[in-house]
Amino acid sequence: MARINGATETALTKLDVLYPACKGTSDYNKLPQEAKEFIAKVEEATGVRVTLLGTGPGAMDIIDRRGLH
């Protein structure tokens, strides 16, 4: 989804590079607290919800938060 002249959702990749404990995680609830805090800071700074999180190099190393509130 996108608003006129702005995004409504965003993706954040390389989370596993910043926080190695995230590597391959597919469940948001299993992320380390500091990773969740980083995601919240990105959302606050951009005003856009992070809905896709890349947690590794594989195509399936993704946490999909779309549809979750």
28 in Cβ contact with 63 (< 8 Å):
yes
What pLDDT score was predicted for residue 4?
74
Domain count for the chain, please give it: 1
Q: Is residue 55 part of a domain?
A: yes
Per-residue pLDDT, 25: 95
pLDDT, tens digit, 9 for 90 and up, residues 42-69: 999 999 999 999 999 999 999 999 987 6
What are the counts of helices (DSSP H) followed by strands (DSSP E) for the chain? Answer: 2, 5
CATH code of the domain in which 60 resides: 3.90.170.10
Is residue 69 assigned to a domain?
no
* pLDDT for the residue numbered 1: 58
Residue 23 confidence (pLDDT): 96
Domain of residue 54: give its range. 2-64
User: What does the pLDDT read at residue 2?
Assistant: 57
| Average of per-residue pLDDT across 21-38 | 96
pTM: 0.87
